[in-house]
Chain A
Amino acid sequence: SAVISQKPSRDICQRGTSLTIQCQVDSQVTMMFWYRQQPGQSLTLIATANQGSEATYESGFVIDKFPISRPNLTFSTLTVSNMSPEDSSIYLCSVRPGIHTEAFFGQGTRLTVV
């Protein structure tokens, strides 16, 4: 299993600013995943962060808008840049510690952009 801590748990931000979300895992993992859950919607994969290399972004998400860092095997950050109200969502960090395991999720960061 894995325990994930995400910070902040929630924030209200002004449009045009940036917010960095931190994700700490209690064990070493090769890959960490970032998801977005828009209000009333499902989870959409933003990117996969692999330690020692650039993150891999899904279609519709770009590095300039969502830069990701992965400095070691237990930590990652996601930055939401130049925010607009459309970025208001829950952002979740996730890991899968092994091939035959489920995904574990942090409690999420509830972001409101005003």
Chain B
Amino acid sequence: AQSVTQLDSQVPVFEEAPVELRCNYSSSVSVYLFWYVQYPNQGLQLLLKYLSGSTLVKGINGFEAEFNKSQTSFHLRKPSVHISDTAEYFCAVSEGYQAGTALIFGKGTTLSVSS
């Protein structure tokens, strides 16, 4: 069965510093990987997704993630964060080659950006 582990529950950083949010997955088959963001009292928004092709994926708001099959990881990075990036970030996985498969989510990482 597939699962997702987000290694850090909380990540505090200062504004303009780089950040990495870590995500590891477990699956016996090929996967699709996703990062979603949830701002306070708002719905889920897709940041980026890996389906196939280049292992470096660029998303919205300056975020990017790298798919590493050998390490079963999909870490999210941003070179310089803003106060407005403060939010909950969720890594999610689906076993990609089945139609309509549900996403399984990690427990989330709270990114807190301060000045």
Contacts and interface: CB of A to CB of B under 8 A. Distances in A.
Contacts of A41: 107-108
Nearest to B44: A105
Interface range on chain A (Cβ under 8 Å from partner): 20 to 34
Interface in A87-102: 92, 94, 96, 98-100, 102
8 contacts: A41-B108, A43-B105, A48-B100, A96-B100, A96-B101, A99-B99, A100-B96, A102-B103
Nearest to A56: B102
Nearest to B47: A102
A14 interface: no
- 10 nearest A-B pairs in the assembled complex, by CB-CB distance: A31-B100, A43-B105, A42-B107, A33-B102, A42-B108, A107-B43, A105-B44, A103-B103, A42-B105, A99-B99
Interface residues of B, number: 23
Interface on chain A toward B: helix, strand, loop, or mixed SS?
Answer: loop
Contacts of B111: none
Interface in B60-115: 90, 92, 94, 96-108
Nearest to A98: B99
A2 to B, nearest CB: 12
A99 B46 contact: no
Nearest to A96: B100
B99 A30 contact: yes
B108 A103 contact: no
Nearest to B96: A99
Nearest to A100: B51
A48 B49 contact: no
B25 interface: no
Nearest to B100: A31
Given A42-B108, A107-B43, 15 more contacts: A29-B100, A31-B99, A33-B103, A41-B108, A42-B107, A43-B90, A48-B100, A99-B96, A99-B97, A99-B98, A99-B99, A100-B51, A100-B96, A103-B94, A108-B43
